[in-house]
């Protein structure tokens, strides 16, 4: 990785040939040609605006739902984590929080300030930007249930304040006014909050985290649940019933603890993980006639 000089109007950090394995929770992936950490929203707008036409751009958060292929990513990867960090309670119990803030921090700060409904975010190891893109959810809560507006930047660096109604939101799926969201990125969310009991909120967070640690493999690299649950069933149940717990290619393994998790046993390659995803989906299709769909975003050169 080399840190390069930027034009004077840019204030962020640009790294060249940055190993994406450092920025994904699976700890795999090749290098990104350019990896940019913007200083703030204005700086991100300037970066986007000055990019050469046609250069591919991907925005990432904490890489906790991302499989970066071994050959890496061409163009620019932009990571606002920790940089776009604004957090403010506005009038009317509206929380404005920027895309780079980790979900766990949002959950805890809201509970501490006596607001409820975002406790479920505590165990989601991503950022607000990633949670908006994925409509991340857990234990009955979903990110977009409380969103009233979002702030976005487009490819030209133009800022938009968009209403919730401009998005088609479903289970782990968000379709924006620009097809597929690829050319418009979230920089902040406005959540409506309800007044709650701070102590009760913090204790709910504790319980939810405990529940996770009982059912999910903790402390090993993974991307959480790999497949969406099909209508009326659970991907984990289907995978387990095919005898795939413990199934392994290279160092990528279907978790023994939770069959919808694929874990990196150490030095797995992205190709191993991708092959496990493909094989699991094929076996479930053969045995149950159900086509599982991956929840994980797979990016980079094949
Ligand atoms: C142990 C573990 C447990 C998990 N549990 C859950 C769970 O309970 N529920 C759940 O829903 N998920 C869960 N996940 C998956 C993951 O944490 C979520 O999908 C999370 O929302 C991803 O956020 P991120 O910041 O890491 O996004 P990334 O993985 O970096 O990116 C995910 C996608 O969002 C896009 N994106 C990221 N930021 C932006 C932005 N600012 N604007 C536009 N697009 C953007 C990326 O391009 C990519 O397509 C889990 C993952 C792990 C490792």
Active-site residue, selected from the candidate residues 21, 64, 222, 225: 225
Q: In what order do the strands lie in the sheet with 57-59?
A: 2-3, 13-19, 31-37, 73-78, 57-59
What pLDDT does 5 receive? 63
- Report the atom number in ligand 1 closest to the C-alpha of 129: 41
What pLDDT does 1 receive? 61
Whether residue 295 lies in the annotated active site = yes
Indicate the range of 7-16, 133-142, 157-166 predicted with least confidence: 7-16
What pLDDT does 178 receive? 62
Closest protein CA for atom 11 of ligand 1: 136
- Report the atom number in ligand 1 closest to the C-alpha of 23: 30
* Contact residues of ligand 1, CB 6 A cut-off: 25, 58-66, 99, 123-127, 129-131, 133-134, 136-138, 181, 185-186, 222-224, 297
Q: Which tens digits make up the pLDDT trace of 94-141?
A: 999 999 999 999 999 999 999 999 999 999 999 999 999 999 999 999
| Domains of the chain and CATH, by start | 2-78 (3.30.43.10), 87-215 (3.30.465.10), 235-299 (3.90.78.10)
Active-site residue, selected from the candidate residues 18, 151, 172, 184: 172
Q: Which tens digits make up the pLDDT trace of 169-201?
A: 999 999 988 654 558 999 999 999 999 999 999
What pLDDT does 238 receive? 98
Query: How far is ligand 1, taken at its centre, from the CA of residue 12, in Å?
Result: 23
Among 40, 44, 83, 133, residue to substitute to test ligand 1 (most atoms within 8 Å of Cβ): 133
Site of tokens 């094989």: 279
What pLDDT does 81 receive? 95
Whether residue 225 lies in the annotated active site = yes
Residue 163 has pLDDT above 70, yes or no: yes
Strand pairing partners for 241? none
Handedness of CA 128, 130, 135, 139 (dihedral sign): negative
Q: Which tens digits make up the pLDDT trace of 212-261?
A: 999 999 999 999 999 999 999 999 999 999 999 999 999 999 999 999 99
What pLDDT does 82 receive? 87
Q: What are phi and psi of 122, to 5 degrees?
A: -55, -35
Query: How far is ligand 1, taken at its centre, from the CA of residue 136, in Å?
Result: 7
Residue 45 has pLDDT above 80, yes or no: yes
Please give the average per-residue pLDDT across 41-63, as a whole number: 96
Residue 3 has pLDDT above 80, yes or no: no
Distance between CA atoms of residues 239 and 258, nearest Å: 10
Closest protein CA for atom 20 of ligand 1: 126
Query: How far is ligand 1, taken at its centre, from the CA of residue 104, in Å?
Result: 12
What pLDDT does 64 receive? 98
Query: How far is ligand 1, taken at its centre, from the CA of residue 52, in Å?
Result: 27
Tokens of 13: 């950090």
Distance between CA atoms of residues 206 and 196, nearest Å: 16
Query: How far is ligand 1, taken at its centre, from the CA of residue 60, in Å?
Result: 8
Distance between CA atoms of residues 172 and 266, nearest Å: 28
**Residue-averaged pLDDT of the chain:** 95
Please give the average per-residue pLDDT across 141-168, as a whole number: 96
Could you tell me how far CA 229 lies from the centroid of its own chain? 17
DSSP secondary structure of 133-198: HHT-EETTEEGGGGEEEEEEEETT--EEEEEGGGSEEETTEEE-SSGGGTTEEEEEEEEE-EE--H
């Amino acid at each position: 990785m080399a840190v390069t000089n930027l034009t004077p109007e840019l204030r962020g950090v640009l790294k060249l040939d940055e190993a994406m394995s450092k920025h994904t929770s699976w700890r795999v992936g090749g290098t990104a040609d350019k990896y940019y950490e913007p200083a703030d929203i204005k700086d991100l707008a300037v970066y986007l605006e000055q990019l050469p036409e046609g250069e591919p751009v991907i925005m990432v958060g904490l890489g906790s739902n991302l499989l970066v292929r071994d050959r890496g990513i061409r163009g620019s990867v932009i990571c606002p984590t920790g940089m776009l960090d604004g957090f403010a309670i506005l009038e009317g119990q509206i929380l404005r929080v920027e895309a780079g803030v980790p979900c766990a921090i949002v959950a805890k700060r809201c509970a501490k300030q006596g607001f409820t409904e975002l406790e479920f975010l505590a165990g989601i190891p991503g950022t607000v930007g990633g949670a908006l893109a994925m409509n991340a959810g857990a234990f009955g809560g979903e990110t977009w249930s409380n969103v009233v507006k979002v702030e976005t930047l487009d490819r030209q660096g133009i800022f938009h304040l968009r209403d919730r109604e401009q998005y088609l939101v479903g289970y782990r799926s968000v379709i924006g006014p620009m097809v597929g969201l690829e050319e418009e990125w979230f920089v902040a969310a406005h959540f409506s909050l309800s007044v709650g009991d701070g102590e009760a909120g913090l204790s709910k967070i504790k319980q939810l985290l405990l529940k996770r640690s009982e059912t999910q493999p903790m402390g090993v690299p993974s991307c959480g649940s790999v497949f969406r649950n099909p209508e009326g069933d659970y991907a984990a149940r289907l995978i387990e019933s095919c005898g795939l717990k413990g199934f392994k290619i290279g160092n990528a393994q279907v978790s023994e603890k939770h069959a919808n998790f694929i874990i990196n046993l150490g030095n797995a390659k992205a190709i191993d993980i991708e092959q496990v995803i493909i094989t699991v989906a094929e076996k479930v299709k053969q045995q149950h006639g159900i086509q599982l769909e991956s929840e994980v975003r797979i990016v980079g050169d094949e």
